[in-house]
Amino acid sequence: MDFLITLACTTAACFLLRNPVKRFPVLFYVLAAALDMLFLVGCFGLLPWFAWSGLLVLMRRCLLAFSLFTVVMFVGVLPAGSKARAWLAPVRGELSLVACILAAGHVGFYVASYAPRMLAGGAVEPAIAASLALALVLLALLAVLGVTSLKSVRTRMASTPWKRLQRLAYPFYLLACAHVACSLLPAALHGGTAAQTSIVAYAAVAAAYLVLRLMRFAMDRRRARAAAQRAGI
């Protein structure tokens, strides 16, 4: 439920803040980095409980970053002529970069939590081990997608290679959903209602995206064939 609430609020914020994000992207990058720093400060018990409880949900569980990634991905499968796509498509790169910066706090927390245990040879549940393995793949993809989302990089790269690299967002998003499911699985198997509900919510969003992505792919292919036929005529 926390994920769906965060996703709804994030979506609304993206629509409302679209113009400021487009005009002042660096401001939002700085704010995202500031949230990371606040989260790390909170990890040492230096924040009041009301601030820490909110950051704990949004940052440790990566809900805010994942919700931003979800908005970015769903914009890409909206109908080409839709108002929502026309409004948010110009800031997809900026939103992606904000999400990448926010995800850094989540990554830092879990590296600090699990690295000592793994290096010491401590036992880790299979589902958690799978989640950590996926996290390594996601981290590599996140670095590539984050760097190529920078405007300075986009403008210097040729269009075709840049588009090919950006297609890594598709496996990244689906693997992120699998990573979340693996991390929640132990609690869900032990009867955790919140974990079970969260897995269903993430799975539903991932399934909806996959269906829409396949539909969009089929529509794009039909348009390309029709254009080729017209050109041939």
- 3-state DSSP percent of the chain in helix, strand and coil, to 5: 85, 0, 15
Range 55-61 contact pairs with CB under 8 angstroms and sequence separation of 24 or more: 57/2, 57/6, 58/6, 59/35, 59/102, 59/105, 59/106, 59/109, 60/106, 60/109, 61/2, 61/106
Cα separation of the two ends of the chain: 54
Exposed e or buried b per residue across 76-90, where buried means at least 16 C-beta atoms within 10 angstroms of its C-beta: bbbeeeeeebeebee
- Give residue for tokens 């992505």: 213
Q: Does the pLDDT of residue 233 top 70, yes or no?
A: no
pLDDT the model gives residue 124: 65
**Residue 124's Cα: distance from chain center in Å?**
25
pLDDT the model gives residue 58: 86
Average pLDDT on 196-213 reads 91
pTM above 0.95, yes or no: no
CATH architecture of 2-232: Up-down Bundle (1.20)
Give yes or no for a contact between 18 and 91, defined as CB atoms under 8 angstroms apart. yes
| Mean pLDDT, rounded, of the chain | 85
pLDDT the model gives residue 45: 79
Give yes or no for a contact between 139 and 107, defined as CB atoms under 8 angstroms apart. yes
Exposed e or buried b per residue across 171-202, where buried means at least 16 C-beta atoms within 10 angstroms of its C-beta: ebbeebbbbbbbbbbebbeeeeeebebbbebb
**pLDDT category of residue 7 using cuts at 50, 70 and 90:** very high
Neighbours of 121 (CB within 10 A): 7
Instruction: Output 232 or 227, whichever has higher pLDDT.
Output: 227
What string of H, E and C letters represents the secondary structure of 101-121?
HHHHHHHHHHHHHHHHHHHCC
**Domain assignments of the chain as residue spans, ordered by start:** 2-232
Token pair for residue 152? 């300075």
Average pLDDT on 33-39 reads 91
Instruction: Output 150 or 201, whichever has higher pLDDT.
Output: 201
Give yes or no for a contact between 203 and 177, defined as CB atoms under 8 angstroms apart. yes
pLDDT the model gives residue 204: 92
pLDDT the model gives residue 227: 74
Average pLDDT on 106-114 reads 74
pLDDT the model gives residue 73: 93
pLDDT the model gives residue 114: 65
pLDDT the model gives residue 123: 59
- The percentage of residues in the chain with a pLDDT greater than 90, rounded to a whole number, is 33
Between 5-9, 72-76, 119-123, 132-136, the lowest mean confidence (pLDDT) is in: 119-123
d(CA 225, CA 106): 43
